[in-house]
Chain A
Amino acid sequence: MIETVSAATHQSVSIQQRGIQVIALALFCWLAQQFTAKLNWPIPGSLVGLLLLWFLLNRRMLPATWVEHGANDLLQHLMLFFVPAMLALVNRPDLFSMLGVKLLIVVFISTLAVMCGTACVVEIGFRLRND
């Protein structure tokens, strides 16, 4: 099994280098977004950027070390990036009511179903293949 984040090498890369990698990824994403907007594609630019970057890495046209540390930094702080969007809640007093309670019930039941269902199906698939 390969490590997702190589922690040891991650520490040895300077903050400047990681910053440049983040900026490079941002530029890459921005270009992809401009591109999809111009062509009016139904897929978001960030997704096109993801697929393109993966393709470049896969074809060895771009060494993974050039963007890896910036990418790990971005993914590590992903939680922070959606806090501003989640705070739109202060603009929605209608959710602090019966509607909010109903929504919570829906989210809880649906999450339970997804977790149990997915785990059971994958487990069955795993056993079928290994038996």
Chain B
Amino acid sequence: MIEIIQGSFWCACTLTIYLSSQKLHRTYGRWWSSPMLVTWAGCGILILALHANYREYLLGTNWMIWLLGPATVAFAIPIYRQQALIQKHWLLLCIGVAVGSLLAFATCWGLAAFFHFSPEIRASLLPRSVTTPLAMEASSRIGGVPELTAIFTAITGLFGAAIGESLLCFLPIRSSFARGALFGMGAHGAGVAKAREIGQEEGVVASLIMILAGLLNVLLAGLISSL
């Protein structure tokens, strides 16, 4: 009985904070008002303030984690809708995804070795530049902790979306295609949202790059783990 009450309490808290953070984000529209960051911080502070533990929190909210599966399946819709664009630019998209993933692996691996991180943390860092549901999938396959990957991925998205526009001022980029690739590969979901604000083509390219990068990472992780 107590578990049902605890579960409903945390579920209600999370949804309330999430819905109000959406209103907040519509007013301010900056990286720090992102619903993900506000809900994360809000629930975290509440858990610590009430001396609750993570297990209690999950009682009412693990259905959200489970919905990541159907949400992954839902990516079939944007892929289907953008088929014409994929067929026209498949080579550029593949190059962007390959280069981006390679850079992500190389820099993470190198820096993790430099700082002497444990293998668990290193494996959790590797897939962090792809969209969260797929990053968590990939992480668990190569010996990482999916929850840690979710945290790293979220920070990547927040940071990427926050600095993306300033980066565009420095880089000699003229095509909307490259602008979209920058956001989709560097900052996944949060980047796609930002790219949509800049332009429609940027948004579409960003979401495609994000999905393709996620697919590539999960397939690679599956291959690595089955070796």
- Give chain A's interface residues, CB within 8 Å of chain B: 1-4, 22, 25-26, 28-30, 32-33, 42-47, 49-51, 53-54, 57-58, 64, 67-68, 70-72, 74-75, 78-92, 95, 99, 102-123, 125-127, 129
Contact = CB atoms under 8 A, between A and B. Distances in A.
Interface of B: 14-15, 18, 34-36, 39-40, 43-44, 47-48, 53-54, 57-58, 61-62, 64-65, 67-85, 91-92, 95-96, 99-100, 103-104, 107-108, 111-112, 115, 117, 121, 125, 128-129, 131-134, 136-137, 141, 145-148, 150-156, 159-160, 163-164, 167, 171-175, 177-179, 181-183, 185-187, 189, 200-201, 203-204, 207, 209, 215, 218-219, 222-223, 225-226
Given A29-B73, A79-B36, A120-B171, A114 B68 contact: no
Nearest to A2: B81
Contacts, number: 304
Nearest to A123: B178
Contacts of B136: 82, 85
A116 B146 CA distance: 27
A66 to B, nearest CB: 11
Q: Do most interface residues of chain B lie in helix, strand or loop, or is the interface mixed?
A: helix
A121 to B, nearest CB: 5
A47 to B, nearest CB: 6
B155 A114 contact: no
A79 B96 CA distance: 24
A122 B207 contact: no
A4 B69 contact: no
Contacts of B71: 74-75, 78, 81
Contacts of A50: 72-73, 75-76, 79, 215
Contacts of B173: 119-120, 123
